Structure 1
Amino acid sequence: MTALAARLGLSVPLIQAPMAGVSTPALAAAVCEAGALGSIALGATDAAGGRAMIDAVRAATTRAFNVNLFVHADPVPDDAREAAWRKWLAPEFARFGAQPPATLRTIYRSFADDTAMLAMLVQARPAVVSFHFGLPSPAAIHALKATGALLMATATDVAEAQAIERAGVDVIVAQGIEAGGHRGMFDPGAPDEQLGTLALTRLLVRRCGVPVVAAGGIMDGSGIAAALALGAEAAQLGTAFIACPESAASAAYRAALAAAERTRMTALISGRPARCLVNRFTELAGAPDSPGYPIAYDAGKALHAAASARGEHGYGAHWAGQGARLARALPAATLVATLRDEVARAGLGQASPSSGAAFSK
Structure 2
Amino acid sequence: MLGIELPIVQAPMAGVSSPAMAAAVANAGALGSIGVGATNAAGARTMIAEIRERSNRPFNVNVFCHQPAKPAPAVEAAWIDRLRPEFNRLGAAPPAALSEIYKSFVEDDDMLAALLADRPKVVSFHFGAPSPDRVQALRDAGIVLLGSATSVDEARMLATAGVHAVVAQGYEAGGHRGVFNPDASDDRLGTMALIRLLVREIDVPVIAAGGIMDGAGISAALRLGAGAAQLGTAFIACPESQADAGYRAALASDAAFHTVMTRAISGRPARCLANRFTVLGAAIAADEIPAYPIAYDAGKALNAAGKSAGEPGFGAQWAGQGAPLSRPLPAADLVAVLAAETKAA
> Which consecutive residues of structure 2, in runs of 5 or more, have no partner in the other structure?
none
Match of 2:7 among 4, 13, 16: 13
1:267 maps onto 2:239 in alignment: no
Per the TM alignment, residue 168 of structure 1 is displaced from its structure 2 partner at its CA by 1.1
Whole-angstrom CA distance in 2 between matches of 1:241 and 1:108 = 24
Secondary structure of the 2:208 match is strand
Match of 2:246 in 1: 252
Per the TM alignment, residue 100 of structure 1 is displaced from its structure 2 partner at its CA by 1.2
Per the TM alignment, residue 309 of structure 1 is displaced from its structure 2 partner at its CA by 0.3
> Which consecutive residues of structure 1, in runs of 5 or more, have no partner in the other structure?
1-6, 347-361
Whole-angstrom CA distance in 2 between matches of 1:249 and 1:135 = 28
Match of 2:70 in 1: 76
Match of 2:297 in 1: 298
Per the TM alignment, residue 213 of structure 1 is displaced from its structure 2 partner at its CA by 0.2
Taking the TM superposition and a 5 Å limit, the aligned residue runs for 1:139-178 are: 139-178=133-172
Taking the TM superposition and a 5 Å limit, the aligned residue runs for 1:275-294 are: 275-284=271-280, 285-287=282-284, 289-294=288-293
Per the TM alignment, residue 108 of structure 1 is displaced from its structure 2 partner at its CA by 0.3
Whole-angstrom CA distance in 2 between matches of 1:250 and 1:266 = 20
Whole-angstrom CA distance in 2 between matches of 1:209 and 1:9 = 20
Match of 2:322 in 1: 323
Per the TM alignment, residue 9 of structure 1 is displaced from its structure 2 partner at its CA by 3.1
The amino acid across from 1:65 in the alignment is F
Provide Cα deviations, 1:191-238, integer angstroms capped at 9, x if missing partner: 000000000011000110000000000000000000000110000000
Per the TM alignment, residue 286 of structure 1 is displaced from its structure 2 partner at its CA by 4.4
Provide Cα deviations, 1:38-65, integer angstroms capped at 9, x if missing partner: 0000000000000000000011000000
8 A contact 2:257–2:321 mirrored in 1: no
Match of 1:44 in 2: 38
Taking the TM superposition and a 5 Å limit, the aligned residue runs for 1:73-152 are: 73-152=67-146
1:241 maps onto 2:235 in alignment: yes
Taking the TM superposition and a 5 Å limit, the aligned residue runs for 1:58-69 are: 58-69=52-63
RMSD, matched Cα = 0.8
**TM-score, scaled relative to structure 1:** 0.93
The amino acid across from 1:290 in the alignment is I
Which runs of structure 1 show a deviation greater than 4 angstroms over 4 or more consecutive aligned residues?
A: none
Whole-angstrom CA distance in 1 between matches of 2:110 and 2:15 = 22
| Bigger mean CA offset, 192-201 vs 90-99 | 90-99
**TM-score, scaled relative to structure 2:** 0.97
Provide Cα deviations, 1:162-192, integer angstroms capped at 9, x if missing partner: 0001111100000000000000000000000
Provide Cα deviations, 1:252-289, integer angstroms capped at 9, x if missing partner: 11110011231000000000000010000000154361
Per the TM alignment, residue 11 of structure 1 is displaced from its structure 2 partner at its CA by 2.2
8 A contact 2:2–2:144 mirrored in 1: no
1:231 maps onto 2:230 in alignment: no
For these two proteins, the number of residue pairs brought into alignment is 340
Identity of aligned residues (%): 63
Whole-angstrom CA distance in 2 between matches of 1:338 and 1:11 = 14
Match of 1:349 in 2: none
8 A contact 1:85–1:287 mirrored in 2: no
Whole-angstrom CA distance in 2 between matches of 1:165 and 1:286 = 37
8 A contact 1:88–1:287 mirrored in 2: no
Secondary structure of the 1:247 match is coil
Secondary structure of the 2:278 match is coil
The amino acid across from 2:166 in the alignment is I
The amino acid across from 1:302 in the alignment is A
Whole-angstrom CA distance in 2 between matches of 1:146 and 1:187 = 28
Per the TM alignment, residue 8 of structure 1 is displaced from its structure 2 partner at its CA by 2.7
The amino acid across from 2:86 in the alignment is E
8 A contact 1:176–1:195 mirrored in 2: yes
1:188 maps onto 2:185 in alignment: no
Secondary structure of the 1:335 match is helix
Secondary structure of the 1:185 match is coil
Secondary structure of the 1:281 match is helix
8 A contact 2:27–2:57 mirrored in 1: yes
Secondary structure of the 1:213 match is strand
| Bigger mean CA offset, 94-103 vs 218-227 | 94-103
Per the TM alignment, residue 21 of structure 1 is displaced from its structure 2 partner at its CA by 1.2
1:337/1:91 CA distance change after superposition, 3 Å: same
Provide Cα deviations, 1:92-123, integer angstroms capped at 9, x if missing partner: 10101112100101000000010000011111
1:311 maps onto 2:310 in alignment: yes
